[in-house]
């Protein structure tokens, strides 16, 4: 089964991240790097990316049949998505165990629609 794990933080987390030096970023990424290495080597992670901060997001909505473009995330929220991993595991329980071992904050588990 495929799932997308969304790595979630707050806008305050993102703002702190944006103020970090490259050395601080590298040090804080250690646990996440080990997590990706562990599950990547086992073949469970099939894709994923770190995302740029919420200040770089653009949202396009349809209003009255016309596109409306706005700056910012898709909803007004204190939480932001920092990245994602696409995982291929045997079942939800395995995806849950992976999410529980993520060392850097909250994780949302989204099942992928499969034909």
Model confidence at 24: pLDDT above 80: yes
Average pLDDT of the segment spanning 57-83: 82
Global pTM reads 0.82
Mean pLDDT lowest among 8-12, 61-65, 75-79: 75-79
Q: What residue spans define the domains of the chain?
A: 2-111
Architecture in CATH of 2-111: 2-Layer Sandwich (3.30)
Distance CA 94, CA 88 (A): 9
């Amino acid at each position: 089964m495929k799932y997308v794990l969304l790595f979630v933080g707050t806008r305050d987390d993102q703002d702190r991240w944006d103020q970090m030096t490259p050395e601080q970023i590298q040090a804080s990424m250690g646990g996440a790097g080990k997590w990706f290495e562990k599950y990547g080597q086992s073949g469970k992670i099939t894709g994923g990316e770190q995302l740029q901060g919420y200040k770089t997001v653009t949202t396009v909505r349809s209003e009255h049949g016309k596109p409306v473009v706005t700056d910012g995330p898709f909803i007004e929220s204190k939480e932001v998505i920092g990245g994602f991993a696409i995982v291929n595991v045997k079942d939800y329980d395995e995806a849950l165990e992976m999410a529980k071992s993520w060392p850097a904050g909250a994780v949302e588990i989204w099942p992928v629609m499969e034909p």
